Structure 1
Amino acid sequence: MIFTVDQTVEAGNPENEVKLKMPDNNHKCDSQKPKSILAKTHMYFKEYCNSTSIHGFRYFAESRSLCERLLWLILVLFSLSACVYLIVQTYVKFQESPVIVSFATTNTPIYTIPFPAVTICPLSKARSFLFNFTEVRAKIERKKEISDNEKRYTKYMALLCGKGNNLFKNESTFTEDFFSGIDELKIPQEEFMLRCVFLDSLQSCQKMFHPIIADQGICYTSNMLDRKYIYNENVVLDKKYHFLNQSTLGWTVDKGYQTDTKGRDSNYPYRALLSGAENALQLTFHQNISNTDHYCVDDVQGFNVLIHPPHTLPRLNKQFFTVGFKQSVIASVRPNKMTTSDQVLQFDSSIRKCYFSTEKKLKYFKVYTPGNCELECLTEYTLKLCGCVSYYMPREEETLICGNANFSCIRKAEYYLKRNQSLEHEKEEENGHYSCDCKPLCSDVTYNTEISSSYMDMEGQIQAWFLIYNITGYEWSQYAKLTIFFEQDSFLTSERNELYSPIDFLANFGGLLGLFTGFSLLSAAEIIYFLTLRMCCNFRLYRSLFGKETENIA
C-alpha cells in the first residue's frame, strides 16, 4: 500500500495535524501500462526458476550480468544435450538387445530330452535285378534301344541321382507315378538292416524305422514325430511314408515331457536314462554287392545318416555323415537345449529374435521350426519360379511335381533365394516379397555329434552267425555298423533371460536425468503444477493466468 502525507494546517487549530490520505483504488497512474503476454510469460518463467529444483535454472531469474547468464545457459544446454544423447543410446539398447543368453546354474539330465531321431538313406537307390542305372545309361549313350519300363525308371533315377536329367527335356513335371516307381525300385528295409539294438535291448528294425520321403529319395527314420504332428491337413502325402502310427505324444518342444515317468516305453519320442555305449542305438547294415551302383553314387558306398530333433524334417543334402561299408562308425551326441523365461514373453518376436513353436503359423507345418520355415519358403519360391515343386517338398493336391526338365530350375530357385544375386530373383521380388523371417526357436533342442570311425573286421563274426543259424550267402554282402549314444548323463542348458526390463530402463532414464540436471519425479510434478493447477488458481484469484502482476516484479 502507498500512503501520502497531507501537512495542511487548519485555521484555529494550534497543533499541526498530519493526515494520512488513503489512495484511491480506482485511480491508476498514467505511468503504469498493461504488460504484454510476452512480458507476463517472462515474469512467470522467472517465478518458476526461483522455485524449481532443477539445477541451474534459478540463475536465469537473478538480475545478473549478461556474461553470467550466458555461462549458465551454455552449461544447462550442454547438460541437457548430453543427457538426451545418453538416454537415446540407452533406449536403442533397450529396444535392440533386451534379451541375453546365458548358461543355467545347474546341469540338465539327459532323460528330460528325447533320444535324437535318426534318419538313414541308402546310397544305392535300386535293386540291381530290377534296374541297373549304370547299364541303362550305357545303352542310351550307345544309342541302343531301351524298353518303356527302363525309360520310366531311368527318368526317375536321373532325378534322384542328379545325373542324366538333360536326356529328358520334355519331362517338365511328374505324376504320382514317380513315388510308385521309386518305391518299386528301392532296396527293402529288411535287406539292408541286419540288426537293431536300442538301450541294450534287441529290437525289430521294421518296427523302429519307418519309410520317409527326404531330399535323397526314400529314407528310413526312427524316433521322429508322426506326420500328423508335423504337417497341416492340406499337405498331400502318401500313406506309405512318414507314418509312424504313434497315437500318443508325451513330449513337446516348448514344454518337454508331460509326465515324470522315465524309460523307453513310457513316452514317445523315446529317451535314454543314461549315457554311454550300453545305452546306445546300435545298427548293423549289410547289402548285396550286386546292388552297388557306381554311376549314381560317386565314391563312397554305404548309408547317409542324419541325427536331428524329433520335431524337425531331415534334409540330408544340408547335413549328414556317411557310414561306409567295412566301417564301424561311432556318433557321440552332445545335446544343446535352449529355454526362455516367462519375462521374455512380453517382448515382440522382432525384439527377442525368436519364435515359439506355435507362435508363427506356417502354410504346410503345424510346428514352427527354422528348418520347416526355410523349407516352406523354398517351396513357395520354387513354385513361383518353376511352376512346380521338388518331390520332397510339402505340397497341396493341385501342386505339380517338378520333372527332369525343371531340375536346373529347382537348383536355381534355392541359389537365388539364398544369394539374392539374380535378375530373375529381383524381378520375382517385385511381384512377391520372399522374406522368410525364419527366426530360431525360443525353446529348442539340438544335437551336436562327434564322429569317429574305424575299420570293421566283421567277416569272422558274421560267418559265425551264419554258420550257427545255417545260413549261406554272407560272402556276397558288405557290412557296416553305426553306434549312437549320449556322451554324458547331463548337460548345461542355455537360457534366454530379460536383460533390460521396463523398470531397468526407467532406472537408467531417471539416473541420467538426476546426474546431469537433478531432475526427479517432483521436478516433473513442479512443471505440471506450474502449467496447470497454479495457472487455474491464479485466474480464479487474480483473473490472470500469470498471477498478481505486482508479485511478479523482480
Structure 2
Amino acid sequence: MDSTMSTCDSELESHSGGIDLTSKKPRQSANVATVCKGFLTTYEEYCSHTSLHGVQYLGDHQRPMRERIFWLCAFLISIYGCATLISSAYTKWTETPVIVSFAEKSTPVWNIPFPAITVCSETKRVLKPKGEETSFADLYSQFNIEMRSSRVFKPQNITALEMEEFRTLLHVCNTQLIDQAMPLISGDDVDYFDVLERMLPQFDRYFFYCRWLSRFGECDKFFRKTLTEEGICYTFNGLSATDIYREDTYQYRYSAGALDMENISSHSAWSLETGYDVESDVVTYPARVLSAGARSGIFLALQSFKQEVDYACRGPVQGFKVLLHAPDDVPQVSKQFVRIPMGKEVLIAVKPSMITTSSGIAEYHPLRRQCFLSHERALRFFKIYTESNCQLECLANFTLTKCGCVKFSMPRNMDMPVCGEDKIYCYDRAERQLLVREFHRVKALNAERDAPRGVETACNCMPACTSLAYNTEISQANFDLEEMLIAEGDTDFMKEYAGSQMSRLSIYFKQDQFITSKRSELYGITEFLANCGGIFGLFMGFSILSLVEMIYHFTLRFCTNMKHLVKVEE
C-alpha cells in the first residue's frame, strides 16, 4: 500500500505544473494521475472508516513513518497468525471430520437382536468301540511311516469311506502337524461338507436339552448347521446362508431350509443399519429379548462321551467352543471363542457394544470417516457388508492367488477349486502372509510425506459405520453330574449314557439398557466457518461485513471518487 501511494504521489508531482489539453501524451499521463489520486483518496477513506484493527493507522499521513511501519508489521503478523491457525483448522476438518462419542440416550436390549451363538464340539468324528474302527492317530501314524519310505500311502484294512474321513480330518484336526512336504493322496475328489456331515456326532446326544425364553424345547428347532474352518458347527439366531451369501456361492446352494424358529416368527426385514421395523412384533427373527437376566436368555446342556473322544485329532483340551457374534456375521470360530470345558457350569453375561451413525457423515468419503455404509462396499460372495465378512472374503481371494485353491470352509463360487491335502500347509500360512502384506502396505503409505490419515489397504476392509459386538463376562462352577445322579439314586441315566460328560451353559444380557456410541461430525462446514470467523475476529476484528466493506470501497466508492475527480479536472 505504501509503495502504491509513493508511485501515485510521484505521478501527481510530475504533472502538477499544468496539462496541455491539445497534446495526447500529457492527457494520458493526466489519466494515470487521476487514477492514482482516486485510489489514494479511496484508500484513505477506507483506512479511516474500516472496522479492521490497526488499518486506520496505515492511512494516516500525519503519523510518523516509524509508527506506520510498526502497525504494518503488526498487521502482517496478525495475517500470518490467522493463516497458520486456519490451515490447522482446515487440516483437522479434512483429516478428522468424524468423532465417536456416547449417544445422548441409552438403548434398550429389545432394540437389538440377541447374539448369534455358534457352538462347535471338539469331537469331530465319533469313534466306535476299540477294535472296530481305526482312529485318526493310527491312520496318521501309518500315513507318516509309508510316506517317509515310499512317498505312497496304501493304507491296510480300511474302507474307502474311512479313507475319505481321514482325508477330511486332515483339514480339521491339528494342522500344525502337517509340513510342506505333504503330498496329494490319490483318489477321487472329496466333498468335505458331505463327509463332515456323515461323521457328525448325533445332535440330540451332544445338545442334550435347551431352554429359550423360559420355554424348554428340542434344540434342533433353534440351531442350524454352519460350515466353519473347524468343521460343521451349530448356530443359534444367525441369518441363514441365503440371507448372507450371494446366489452363485457354494454356501448358498447347500444351505438348509428354514428353522421352526423362523417359521413361527414374523420374519421382519432386519438390518444392522435400520434395525427392526417399527411395526414388527415381539416375536421376530433374528430373535430378541425384552429384558436382561438368565430367564430371558438361552440355557444349554452340552454333553460329550469319554469313549468317543479322539485326542490325536483335537488335542488334550476337549469340550466345546462357543462364539458370540452379530446375526449377519459369518462365524470364524478359530479367531475368538469361549471355551466350555466338560464338568462345568458356565454363565456368560453379555454386554452389547454398538456404534451407530448420524446422517451428516454420509456426505464424507469413506476414507475420511474411516467406515463404510452398507451400499458403499460391495462384496463378491456376501450380500451383507461387515468387516468380518470382508476380511474372510479377502483371505479367500488371497488364498486362491497363493495356492490356486481355497479351503473347504471359505466362501467360494462353484467354479473355484478346493484345496486338497497337499495344500494344507499353503492355506494354513496364507492368513499370516496376508496380514504381513497388509502391515507392510500400511507402513509404506504412512511413511509417505503426503499420505492421508485414511489409508486404503489391499483388502480395503474398514469397519461398517454401524456395527454391533457382544462383550462377555464369564463365570463358572463345577458341575458334577455323576455325583448328583448317585445322590438322587438315578442309575438309569448313566447306563443309557455311559461315559457321559456334561456341562451347562447359560447366555443372557447383563443389563436392560446399554449405552451406544455414535459416529457424528466433529467438524462440519458450519463448525469450520465458525472457527475461521473466531480466528479472524481474535486477530483482526474481521467479519463478513468487513469483507463487504473492503469490496465496497475499492469498487463502488472508487468509481464515485474517480467521477468526482474527472469533473473537477474538466
Query: In which range does the TM-score fall when normalised by the shorter chain?
Result: 0.7 to 0.9
Counterpart of 1:208 in structure 2 is 222
Identity of matched residues, %: 32
Conserved? CA contact 2:398–2:434, under 8 Å? yes
Amino acid at match of 1:391: F
CA contact (8 A) 2:241 2:252 kept: no
Greater C-alpha radius of gyration: 1
Q: How does 1:380-459 map to 2 (within 5 A)?
A: 380-420=397-437, 435-459=458-482
Distance 1:397-1:490 versus aligned 2 partners, 3 A rule? same
Q: 1:3 corresponds to which residue? A: none
- Give matches, 1:115-264, under 5 Å: 115-129=114-128, 132-143=135-146, 145-146=155-156, 147=158, 148-161=160-173, 162-166=175-179, 168-170=182-184, 175=189, 177-237=191-251, 239-241=253-255, 243-245=257-259, 246=262, 248-259=267-278, 263=282
Note the alpha carbon deviations across 1:175-197, whole angstroms, 9 max, x for none.
45222222222213223111011
2:166 and 2:36 map into 1 onto residues whose CA distance is 92
Counterpart of 2:54? 56
Secondary structure of the residue that 1:475 maps to in structure 2? coil
Quick one: structure 1 residues 411 and 487, their matched pair in 2 at CA, closer, same or farther if it must change by over 3 Å? same
Counterparts of 1:103-122 in structure 2, within 5 Å, are 103-122=102-121
Question: Matched residue pairs, number?
Answer: 516
Structure 1: runs of 5 or more not aligned: 1-22, 427-432
**C-alpha distance in structure 2 between counterparts of 1:171 and 1:45, whole Å:** 96
The 1:74–1:417 alpha-carbon spacing in structure 2 relative to 1, beyond 3 Å, is same
TM-score, L = length of structure 1: 0.83
Matched, 1:368 2:385: yes
TM-score, normalised on structure 2?
0.81
Measure, in 2, the Cα distance between the counterparts of 1:120 and 1:485.
16
Letter of the 1:232 partner, please give it: R
Give, as a single letter, the amino acid of the residue that structure 2 aligns with 1:249: S
The 3 A distance-change label for structure 1 pair 507 and 374 is: same
In structure 1, give the amino acid aligned to 2:138: E
Stretches of structure 2 lacking an aligned partner (at least 5 in a row):
1-17, 147-153, 444-455
Q: For 2:438 and 2:381, how far apart are their aligned partners in 1?
A: 27
Residues 315 and 550 of structure 1, relative CA distance in 2, 3 Å threshold: farther
- Relative to 1, partners in 2 of residues 1:40 and 1:120: Cα closer, same or farther, differing over 3 Å? same
Q: 219-228 or 456-465: which moved more?
A: 456-465
2:43 maps to a residue whose letter is Y
Counterpart Cα distance in 1 of 2:144 and 2:467: 50
Q: Deviations over 1:249-305 (max 9, x none)?
A: 342211211145554xx2101111222122221111122322101111222111111
Contact 1:289 1:476 in 2 (8 A): yes
Q: Name the SS for the 2:383 alignment partner.
A: coil
Q: 5 Å matches for 1:323-362?
A: 323-362=340-379
Letter in 2 for 1:59: Y
SS in 2 for 1:356: coil
Name 1:500's counterpart in structure 2: 523
Shift of 1:322: 1.2
Amino acid of the residue matched to residue 197 of structure 1? R
For residues 27-64 of structure 1, give each alpha carbon's deviation from its aligned partner in whole angstroms, at most 9, with x where no partner exists.
78999981696994696266235315233334333435
C-alpha distance in structure 1 between counterparts of 2:524 and 2:242, whole Å: 39
Inter-partner Cα distance in structure 2 for 1:462 and 1:128: 26
Which stretch has the larger CA shift, 372-381 or 47-56? 47-56
Farther off after superposition, 348-357 or 201-210? 348-357
Instruction: Choose 182-191 or 244-253, whichever is displaced more.
Output: 244-253
CA-to-aligned-CA distance 1:156-188 (integer Å, 9 cap, x gap): 211111155447423699945222222222213
2:57 counterpart letter in structure 1: Y
Greater alpha carbon shift after TM alignment, 139-148 vs 121-130: 139-148
- Bigger CA drift: 436-445 or 46-55? 46-55
SS in 2 for 1:401: coil
Does structure 1 residue 488 correspond to structure 2 residue 511? yes
* Partner SS, residue 158 of structure 1: helix
More deviation, 325-334/27-36: 27-36
- Work out the CA distance in 2 between the residues paired with 1:405 and 1:300: 27
* Cα deviation code 1:135-157 (max 9, x no counterpart): 21233345483344443322221
CA–CA distance in structure 2, aligned partners of residues 38 and 175 of structure 1: 97
Q: Deviations over 1:387-410 (max 9, x none)?
A: 211222111121111222222222
Structure with the higher helix share, 1 or 2: 2
Q: 1:515-538, CA deviations, whole angstroms, 9 ceiling, x for partnerless residues?
A: 212222122223434555566777
CA distance in 2, matches of 1:311, 1:288: 33
Contact residue 305 and residue 498 of structure 2 kept, 8 A:
no
Aligned residue in 1 for 2:300:
283
* Distance change (3 Å), C-alpha of 1:423 and 1:170: farther
Q: Distance in 2 between matches of 1:443 and 1:382?
A: 29
Q: Give the Cα separation in 2 of the matches to 1:394 and 1:421.
A: 21
Contact 2:21/2:27, CA 8 A, preserved across alignment: no
Q: Distance in 1 between matches of 2:121 and 2:314?
A: 10
Select the structure that is richer in strand: 1
Q: 1:272 to 1:423 in 2, by over 3 A?
A: closer
- Asked if residue 511 in structure 1 is aligned to residue 504 in structure 2, the reply is no
What is the CA RMSD across the aligned residues, in angstroms? 3.5
Match for 2:268: what amino acid? L
C-alpha distance in structure 2 between counterparts of 1:289 and 1:68, whole Å: 97
